[in-house]
Chain A
Amino acid sequence: MANIISDETIEYVGILAKLELSDEQKEQAKQDMGNMLDYIDRLNELDTTGVEPMSHVFPVQNVFREDVVSNGDTREQLLSNAPAQKDGMFMVPKTFE
């Protein structure tokens, strides 16, 4: 396996993706990600010098809205799925700044 994923990398990716893995899951994730990256590394067989990265397939451009208010108060609907709420707001664990 060309790509060895370290404990630090898995830990770091866990912070980025907000996922918590057990030790066993971490080992599995290291293996899976290493295998996948090995597989993805095959793309390096292709010479892409001078090729522009293509993020959008179609030449669709300049899709705009006019600056006109079209939405009203839908707070009740918004909050209907909230796991916790208070005073018309979403309740979350305390944020420290």
Chain B
Amino acid sequence: MKEYETVIGLEVHVELATKTKIFCGCSTAFGAAPNTQTCPVCTGMPGSLPVLNKQVLEYAIAVGLAANCDITRYSKFDRKNYFYPDNPQNYQISQLYLPICRNGGVEIETEDGGTKIIGIHEIHMEEDAGKLIHDDWEDCSLVDFNRSGVPLIEIVSEPDMRSAKEVIAYLEKLRLIIQYLGASDCKLQEGSMRADVNLSVRPVGEKGFGTRTEMKNLNSFKAISRAIEGEAERQIDLIESGEKVIQETRRWDDAKGESYAMRSKEDAQDYRYFPDPDLAPVVVSDEMLADIRARQPEFRNEKMKRYKEEFDIPDYDIEIITGSKHMADLFEAAAAICRQPKKVSNWLMVETMRLMKEKEVEAEDLRFSPENLAKLIMLTDSKAINSTVAKEVFEVMFDANVDPEQYVEEKGLKTVNDEGALRRTVEEVIAANPQSVADYHNGKEKAIGFLVGQTMKAMKGKADPASVNRILKELL
């Protein structure tokens, strides 16, 4: 069998984090009852007209700049015409002829440790469709237009990727850029980031491209990897058995681990794009561009560089922390409050990572505030609580962002600093454990550890272990 190379390009849809929809003043908030966030515009009522949300344009340009794109100075919206119940006008307002950004690229790390540029063909703005719910009882579908008109940018890459790993690296890179910009939370599971995979195969060494297919419905990095591997295999099998790959759109069924063609004879795939006469052209002035450029945040590379200069924390920590915009924000804010960057970093790297793994929480979804983390660090610094208690408190904070000061107070977790009470407890422990006392006197230094443990237990953990140790040694 010949050796084949997989050629992959991505179409990534990202839901922008605007308060309102792209062409009307309806809220984009999640979780509302069906059709309660709609108006004549986003439900295709006759006579309604779209007006562009300025924030959508600004986010699109910001992403374009961060992805090294040329910004189109004279841009327009086009109508993409197709009938489907989730598409209320039966045309989607998108951009085909003059998309807002073109000719960019982002750098990814390759498997061999090198780097590679993945080209970005274009980024355009468009509106999302509504949601279809299948009702088995009535044997029909139900349409909810709450998501209809939610702003999207579609980032179209060049066919520059050669493996699932590169695809994931590219997606992670895009996600990080967009999260740093605050333009979207980019959650694949929730659909705020969606990737369609265009894939073809060709014998290694060949210059031309094979026939490609487009794969939809990929809801996780895992699904993307599996779909890529599955589709490459399917295409190679076809070619090897002398059949032809058909250019088509396929839907991935992750549960079954296979895809199927989404074709119907009523689906002509002829979208009859033409400029939308209801929307004015967008002209990006030098001022607008300079303004957006000036507001660009510090991206990861710059941040890593600054951290190395500013903070005495390991490079590995810096890499992990800056790998999430939310975590970097947490770090910086907490460090600024408690002035203990190293300790903040420790909390993030050890306890936070442990709990994220245990509870399957993404870095972007961490709930505790930097203020509370800083308070916790200050509580331990002042020996108001010991490290065991601190870990317990942190776990509660991790789940519910409680105020550690208040929590410690309410639950009575403060270290007992009453020398007299501590001394009485130690005396009781000594009296109750003659054997250990004897061992200690016979030179078994370790026996003191047991006695400290017993004292801590008697104090319900609320003692400072160093003080316990000191008093024990004194009394023994």
A interface residues, Cβ below 8 angstroms from B: 12, 15-16, 18, 55-56, 60-71, 73-75, 78-79, 84, 86-97
Contact = CB atoms under 8 A, between A and B. Distances in A.
B131 to A, nearest CB: 9
23 contacts: A15-B265, A15-B268, A16-B268, A16-B270, A61-B280, A62-B280, A64-B51, A66-B53, A67-B55, A69-B25, A70-B25, A71-B39, A73-B36, A86-B138, A87-B34, A88-B34, A89-B142, A89-B143, A89-B144, A92-B142, A94-B140, A96-B264, A97-B251
B432 to A, nearest CB: 67
Interface residues of B, number: 55
A56 B268 CA distance: 29
B282 A92 contact: no
Q: Which of B18, B36, B76, B274 has the largest number of chain A CB atoms within 10 A? A: B36
A1 to B, nearest CB: 25
Given A86-B142, A87-B142, A18 B83 contact: yes
Does more than half of chain A's interface fall in helix, strand or loop, or is it mixed?
A: loop
Given A73-B37, A75-B36, A92-B140, 4 more contacts: A61-B281, A63-B51, A95-B134, A97-B262
Interface of B: 18-20, 24-27, 33-39, 43, 51-57, 76, 81, 83-85, 132-135, 138-145, 251, 262, 264-266, 268, 270, 272, 274-275, 277, 279-283
Given A64-B57, A71-B26, A91 B142 contact: yes
B307 to A, nearest CB: 32
A26 to B, nearest CB: 17
Contacts of A62: 280, 282-283
B25 A71 contact: yes
A94 B52 CA distance: 33
A67 to B, nearest CB: 4
B35 A78 contact: yes
